[in-house]
Amino acid sequence: MNRIEKALMHALFTHLHHNIDKAIDFKAIDALNKKVGKLFPNVLLVGPGDDAAAFKFPRIKGAFVGKMESHCSPCVPRPYDAAATGAGGAMRDVVAMGARPLFLMNFLGTKPLHEKVLVGPCGFAGKCTCGKCVEMTSGERVDLMVKGLRDMCSAMDVFIVGGGFSTSFSDIVPATVVSVIGKLVTAKPLTKPAKAAGDQIILIGKTGSDGNDTLYRAGLVDVMKPAIALFKEERAVMEASLAAFRTGKIKACSDLGAAGIGAAVCESARYGGFGAHVDLTRAPLREKDLIPEEIMICETQGRMAVQVAKKDVAAVLKAIRAKGVRAEVIGEITKDNKEVFEYKGRTVAVIPNKPSQADMNELTNG
């Protein structure tokens, strides 16, 4: 495994962010949902396992989408951006299912408001050695987190309808948890798994160099640099995605957050029982001189990936670009059992759908 393969495979197959089922008994949850489903049939449309849940309310027309997401560790170096991108990421998950986000609730947990906290690159160490950190009270940090949540909701026209707050936390890392509810605008929920070989992968939005959480979690960088909040871009990409949905041509959809293009493509292909080929050269960029590994794995906000039949590409691109948003075909779904990422004809990474035991041992041990 090269460096970027190790980082992405660690995220996809080892870290609990992408492997919640290793900590939670989803079979028991599925059994519960089937039991309740006997009392309320055809209410739960999509349960745990996709970008978000889709459901109906008995005797109420239409369907809804809900998502809960935490963004705790990034609040140590960047509390404002982390809270905003946590909210934006949950909203994007709702959009990825074919819905417009409407309501947000949040829970914030922190140390007592008068206690001092260190905000910046050295925050996890508790002592600044870089000269860029700021000491502030826990209350001042909470103010930044709330402002980040509020600004993202303002940009996306989403209500904040409630939440919870606690000052009983003793850890360096505060809690930032958001829950978003939206209204389905598509005929049925969109889902993440790829549907057919030959379908084209369209990337909506531009990729930058920010957001290295995946590299940090894999132990490949020493400093976490979370993604920067992109308010205008989030709104524009949401509207462009909804326009794409209205064409009726979208077969699969996934938002881009943790592990960026790499995770969005690999999870979709693997969950559908397919492979993928991606040309990173085609990805629209926010800045010059990005190396292909950055394009593949950085976690720039305000992006979405959709899949369409080849014959429908022109119509979907037209709908997206009519909203003033960049979008390009970056690859296609294949009949393979792996995802291949290339840049200017050079193979950057090959991610198997089922890693070997030797690879898993290397990821687990280190």
**Which of 157, 187, 217 is where one domain is finished?**
187
**Amino acid residing at 7:** A
* Structural domain contains residue 239: yes
In terms of domains, do 203 and 320 share one? Answer: yes
Q: How far apart are CA 19 and CA 278, in angstroms?
A: 24
Can you give the pLDDT at residue 269? 98
pTM attached to this predicted model:
0.94
* Rounded mean pLDDT, 132-156: 98
User: Does 126 map to a domain?
Assistant: yes
User: pLDDT tens-digit profile of 94-116?
Assistant: 999 999 999 999 999 999 999 99
Q: Which pLDDT score is estimated for 305? A: 97
Asked if residue 180 and residue 109 are part of one domain, the reply reads: yes
Is 182 in the same domain as 286?
A: no
Give residue 366's pLDDT: 59
| Per-residue model confidence as pLDDT tens digits over 168-203 | 999 999 999 999 999 999 999 999 999 999 999 999
Instruction: List, for residues 50-59, the tens digit of each pLDDT value.
Output: 889 999 998 8
Mean pLDDT value across residues 147-153? 98
Residues 216 and 349 in one domain: yes
Structure token pair of residue 58: 């008995």
Eight-class DSSP state of 285: B
Q: Is the pLDDT of residue 253 over 90?
A: yes
Residue 250 in domain: yes
CB 216 within 8 A of CB 70: no
Mean pLDDT of 43-48: 94
d(C-alpha 360, C-alpha 8), whole Å: 12
Q: Look at residue 63 and tell me whether its pLDDT is greater than 90.
A: yes
Percent of the chain residues topping a pLDDT of 70: 100
Is pLDDT at 257 greater than 90 in this prediction? no
Question: Tokens 């970027």 label which residue?
Answer: 4
User: By three-state DSSP, how is residue 206 classified?
Assistant: coil
Average pLDDT, the chain: 94
Residue 273 has pLDDT above 70, yes or no: yes
- Tell me the mean pLDDT in the region 269-277: 98
Identify the pLDDT of residue 222. 81
Q: Domain span at residue 355?
A: 1-21+192-366
DSSP result, 65-89: EEEEEE--GGGTT-HHHHHHHHHHH
Number of CB atoms found within 10 A of residue 179's CB: 18
Query: In sequence order, which residues have a C-beta less than 8 Å from that of residue 47 and are 6 or more positions away?
Result: 29, 30, 33, 53
Domain boundary among 156, 187, 218: 187
- Count: domains in the chain: 2
Pairing of strands 327-334, 175-184: unpaired
**Whether 15 and 72 share a structural domain:** no
